[in-house]
């Protein structure tokens, strides 16, 4: 565990490797994208300004081959799957700030490769391809821990053009029937890895706080991205935190294209609400594998159902209850229990985004809402529960519509009187020497920009200048 310290807080720059659009998106992709969307959401909940980029690989060997098989243009094929990808992101409530496409950044890619050639990190072959020379970058292999220099000679897939077996193509000379662009090295097209270095630099600048992707991308993709970026940008580390989401399993086997056991999203959507799928994808620690089963989805369906019922119940209660002016011991206990679930939720996510633990905190909160809050006629307690549920939704993203807008207070009740009420309740807690709880309230208000000052007679409050940054 280490402290999260982005390069320039409160900004967090996030880049996630997106989809190669030669086939329909499947649940393996969905897991990666849902996980990183929720990581982004959690950071935003904690006050960071996150910029989130997820690229689209629309030129690639697989796309060209498939388009040729089907006798269609590569662009036409890519468009079909880009449409599918975008629709799925929408259904799963994944929000991306920028979706750069490779085909729209060819000039930038050429400029980037030129620098690598000028600096002696890349070489041009007779055929007009350009390769990155891994021996020119002494940190190669450190990210994945996958290779050592002694192994170089043993590597089997030695291509005759390369100087070292791990050298990889930055620019591929055009073969007949392939799309091509003019370049200083002749007609050709970019290799795969270079696009992410180029597009992340274009959208996020020379340093990236979080770079994400599925576990299968660590080597060679991320290892290569890192090598070429650090060589061009003269920064080290280029990426502060590398995060890799775990794989999906089915009946004890890894879900993979080669085993032919991948479940398509299309099939899944026929039976399950996308919100159920989203919640299920967030039911394990992001780095661990996640086992697919109908039962586990059924379990997520039950949680979603309870979640939606709880949010409706609390909204209704808030609308019908009069503002509270006092609070009983029993009610304090309920607030305390809600606070405990919130602390558990934050602890789970602050410690390496443990979504499994965060979901168990959510279940506890739902339990408290149905067993206790539903019988309480104190608006302060209900609002507290509502806020807690809303915070959890900020991360899980399953009921954004239900939580649109702020607390559903009838018009006419001012923010001032609401804060007065909270401060009053806190004073009551202090009188009863419940200092830990009163401190929590002070802290939570402070996060919202409301500062309390305890004076002899009473507590005063004021609204601070907008302060968005909170450290995790
Ligand atoms: Zn990438």
pLDDT per residue as tens digits for the range 289-298: 999 999 999 9
Task: Report yes or no: 215 and 256 within 8 Å, Cβ to Cβ.
Answer: no
pLDDT at residue 408, rounded to an integer: 54
- Alpha carbon of 188 to ligand 1 centroid (Å): 20
- Alpha carbon of 54 to ligand 1 centroid (Å): 9
- Alpha carbon of 222 to ligand 1 centroid (Å): 7
Query: Residue 323 domain-assigned?
Result: yes
What does the pLDDT look like over 182-222, one tens digit per residue? Answer: 999 999 999 999 999 999 999 999 999 999 999 999 999 99
What is the pTM assigned to this prediction?
A: 0.86
Look at residues 264, 292, 320 and tell me which one is the last residue of a structural domain. 292
- Alpha carbon of 387 to ligand 1 centroid (Å): 37
Look at residues 390, 413, 436 and tell me which one is the last residue of a structural domain. 413
pLDDT at residue 420, rounded to an integer: 84
- In this predicted structure, the answer to whether residue 465 has a pLDDT above a threshold of 70 is no
Bridge partner residues of 460 (DSSP): 453
Average pLDDT, the chain: 91
Looking at the structure, tell me whether residues 197 and 65 fall in a common domain. yes
Query: Residue 96 domain-assigned?
Result: yes
Looking at the structure, tell me whether residues 140 and 284 fall in a common domain. yes
- In this predicted structure, the answer to whether residue 148 has a pLDDT above a threshold of 90 is no
- Alpha carbon of 52 to ligand 1 centroid (Å): 14
pLDDT at residue 471, rounded to an integer: 41
Query: Residue 442 domain-assigned?
Result: no
Report residues near ion ligand 1: CB below 5 Å. Answer: 17, 196
Lowest mean pLDDT among 87-101, 207-221, 326-340, 408-422: 408-422
pLDDT at residue 415, rounded to an integer: 73
Looking at the structure, tell me whether residues 226 and 181 fall in a common domain. yes
What does the pLDDT look like over 92-136, one tens digit per residue? Answer: 999 999 999 999 999 999 999 999 999 999 999 999 999 999 999
- Alpha carbon of 267 to ligand 1 centroid (Å): 27
Closest CA to 30 of 303, 247, 284: 247
> How far is it, in rounded angstroms, from Cα 141 to Cα 224?
9
Query: Residue 461 domain-assigned?
Result: no
- Domain hosting residue 354, numbered range: 295-413
What does the pLDDT look like over 160-184, one tens digit per residue? Answer: 788 888 999 999 999 998 899 999 9
Which CATH number is 236's domain given?
3.40.50.620
Lowest mean pLDDT among 49-63, 286-300, 448-462: 448-462
- Alpha carbon of 17 to ligand 1 centroid (Å): 4
Task: Record the tokens describing residue 360, joined without a space.
Answer: 């168990």
Q: How many domains does the chain have?
A: 2
pLDDT at residue 414, rounded to an integer: 65
Task: Report yes or no: 310 and 366 within 8 Å, Cβ to Cβ.
Answer: yes
Query: Residue 454 domain-assigned?
Result: no
pLDDT at residue 445, rounded to an integer: 87
237 cis-preceded (ω within 30 degrees of 0): yes
Looking at the structure, tell me whether residues 276 and 309 fall in a common domain. no
- In this predicted structure, the answer to whether residue 402 has a pLDDT above a threshold of 90 is no
Task: Record the tokens describing residue 276, joined without a space.
Answer: 């159920």
Query: Residue 375 domain-assigned?
Result: yes
Q: Which residues contact 270 (CB under 8 A, 6 or more apart)?
A: none
Task: Record the tokens describing residue 206, joined without a space.
Answer: 């020379």
Is 258 exposed, middle or buried, given 0-12, 13-18 or 19+ CB atoms closer than 10 A?
exposed
CA dihedral 253, 254, 259, 261 (to 10 degrees): 80
In this prediction, residue 455 has a pLDDT band, given cuts at 50, 70 and 90, of confident
Query: Residue 1 domain-assigned?
Result: no
H or E segment to which residue 387 belongs: helix 379-396
- In this predicted structure, the answer to whether residue 263 has a pLDDT above a threshold of 50 is yes
- In this predicted structure, the answer to whether residue 14 has a pLDDT above a threshold of 90 is yes
Look at residues 366, 382, 413 and tell me which one is the last residue of a structural domain. 413
- Alpha carbon of 16 to ligand 1 centroid (Å): 7
Query: Residue 432 domain-assigned?
Result: no
H or E segment to which residue 316 belongs: helix 294-320
């Amino acid at each position: 565990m280490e402290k999260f310290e982005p390069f320039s807080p409160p900004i967090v720059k996030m880049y996630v490797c997106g989809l190669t659009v030669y086939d329909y998106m499947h649940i393996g992709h969905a897991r990666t994208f849902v996980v990183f969307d929720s990581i982004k959401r959690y950071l935003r909940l904690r006050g960071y300004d996150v910029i989130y980029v997820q690229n689209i690989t629309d030129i690639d060997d697989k796309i060209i081959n498939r388009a040729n098989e089907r006798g269609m243009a590569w662009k036409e094929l890519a468009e079909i799957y880009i449409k599918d990808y975008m629709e799925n992101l929408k259904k799963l409530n994944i929000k991306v700030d920028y979706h750069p496409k490779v085909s729209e950044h060819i000039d930038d890619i050429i400029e980037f490769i030129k620098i690598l050639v000028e600096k002696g990190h890349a070489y041009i072959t007779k055929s007009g391809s350009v390769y990155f020379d891994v021996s020119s970058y002494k940190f190669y292999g450190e990210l994945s821990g996958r290779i050592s220099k002694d192994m170089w000679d043993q590597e089997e897939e030695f291509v005759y053009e390369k100087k070292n077996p791990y050298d990889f193509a930055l620019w591929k000379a055009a073969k007949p029937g392939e799309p091509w662009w003019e370049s200083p090295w002749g007609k050709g097209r970019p290799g795969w890895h270079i696009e992410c270095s180029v597009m992340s630099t274009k959208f996020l600048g020379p340093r990236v706080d979080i770079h994400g992707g599925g576990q299968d991308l660590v080597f060679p993709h991320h290892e290569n991205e890192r090598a070429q970026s650090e060589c061009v940008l003269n920064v080290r580390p280029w990426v502060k935190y590398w995060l890799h989401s775990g794989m999906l399993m089915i009946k004890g086997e890894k879900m993979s294209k080669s085993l032919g056991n991948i479940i398509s999203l299309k099939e899944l959507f026929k039976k399950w609400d996308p919100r159920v799928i989203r919640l299920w994808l967030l039911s394990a620690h992001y780095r661990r594998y996640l086992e697919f089963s109908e039962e586990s989805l059924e379990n997520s369906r039950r949680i979603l159902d309870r979640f939606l019922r709880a949010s409706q119940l609390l909204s209704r209660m808030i609308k019908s209850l009069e503002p509270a002016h006092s609070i009983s011991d029993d009610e304090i206990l309920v607030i305390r229990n809600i606070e405990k679930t919130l602390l558990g939720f934050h602890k789970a996510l602050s410690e390496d985004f443990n979504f499994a633990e965060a979901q168990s905190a959510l279940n506890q909160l739902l339990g408290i809402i149905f067993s206790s809050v539903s019988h309480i006629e104190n608006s302060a307690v209900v609002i507290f529960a509502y806020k807690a549920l809303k915070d959890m939704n900020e991360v899980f993203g399953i009921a954004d519509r239900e939580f649109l807008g702020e607390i559903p207070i009838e018009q006419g009740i001012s923010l001032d009187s609401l804060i007065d009420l909270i401060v009053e309740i806190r004073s009551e807690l202090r009188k009863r020497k419940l200092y830990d709880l009163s401190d929590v309230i002070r802290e939570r208000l402070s996060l919202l920009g409301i500062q309390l000052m305890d004076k002899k007679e009473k507590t005063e409050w004021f609204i601070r200048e907008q302060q968005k940054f909170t450290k995790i």
